[in-house]
Amino acid sequence: MAEFTLDLNDDQKQVRDWLHGFAEDVMRPAAAEWDEREETPWPIIQEAAKLGIYSLDFYAQQFFDPTGLGIPMAMEELFWGDAGIALSIVGTGLAAVGVLANGTEEQIGTWIPQMYGDTDDVKVAAFCSSEPDAGSDVASMRTRAVYDEAKDEWILNGTKTWATNGGIANVHVVVAAVDPGLGSKGHASFVVPPGTPGLSQGQKFKKHGIRASHTAEVVLEDVRVPGSCLLGGKEKLDERLARAREKAGKDGERVKNAAMATFEASRPAVGAMAVGTARAAYEVALDYAKTRRQFGRPIIDNQGIAFQLADMRTRIDAARLLVWRASWMATTGKPFTSAEGSMSKLYASEVARTVTAQAIQILGGNGFTREYPVERMHRDAAIYTIFEGTSEIQRLVIARTLSGMPIR
């Protein structure tokens, strides 16, 4: 088991510096353009693919880092470059993780390469879970999957929303209810192959922030997929559903808590994204405060500015520590007895919103214009308190974990 340390090893430092260079030289110069265009930055994704950043191999290497710091380190550097472009680069990973977590070896080998394409023809993938009436309340999911035994096919119907890469993806991974009476325990995941009839893009959202990342509805109308597209296979699903139907009380609660633990383990990565955005805004504000002169001296000489910067840096470092602790715990199998995953996501996301707002204040009128990047960073930061569980849901998870009570 890897010991917890704040010192990156030489390999980690090399990867960090490599990603930082890509973020600084490729992402940042293009950030304002793609934010204005509100389009997927295909040329940037292709450049990332040529360098090996946009690939399953790269993310697998970071995921299996024994210290647990590979993924948060990578997320922080990429989102330091630009949150919208970064989400376009890492968004496919959501679908890939869905296949890796639930699929067979054959399914993993078949579908994940098709999610990324190759350096000459890059592709993206979409993970489709949220619905118009089922965001935080996943048990209310209305998308249904019905098995046609005669044809060994699953028929999917429903509408998904807030899907990163939804509709433009080569491969969609869709979560659907196969036994609605079991709530979230009656869900299963399906791969929808490229070109499958019945899948279409619904509304494309014009967003407040992360505008270089494509977000849309995905409409499923009698979408038929082969039985082999059920992740994990039907035999495994039938066994799981049978257990869920038979068990109740404590056993049922245990299953639910195991699912919660899975979500807990993924939340530090979002916290790392927030840390990257907060750090970027802080650095802009610090440089500005050192060079902007008022009343014959740099504005950083004023306590009102200097103390804000001190608080900003303190909060960023504290957020990173929470993210790294949770990431290390997840990798080394330490139980989240106090919802440490949710703690890291909650605090880092709130810090990102606070720090980016403070950066605008320090830059004054300049910070309110698009001539400087902090207004974009502030718009981008708003998403961190919403996706992967809102701040309110994180507080609920933490409170329930600490109290052992079903707080509502």
Residues annotated as catalytic (active site), given as ranges: 388
DSSP state of 389: S
- As a whole number of angstroms, the distance between CA 241 and CA 251 comes to 14
Residue with the two structure tokens 């068990």: 247
Measured distance CA(183)–CA(245) in Å, rounded: 11
Strands 153-164 and 125-128: unpaired
**Residue 54 DSSP symbol:** S
List of E strands, 178-273: 187-192, 199-204, 215-226
Distance CA 29, CA 383 (A): 22
What single DSSP character describes residue 190?
A: E
Handedness of CA 285, 279, 90, 99 (dihedral sign): negative
Tokens 């048990």 belong to residue: 139
CB distance 138 to 184 below 8 Å = yes
Task: Kindly report the backbone phi and psi dihedral angles of residue 377, in degrees, each rounded to the nearest multiple of 5, phi listed first.
Answer: -60, -35
Judge contact between 22 and 51, C-beta under 8 A: yes
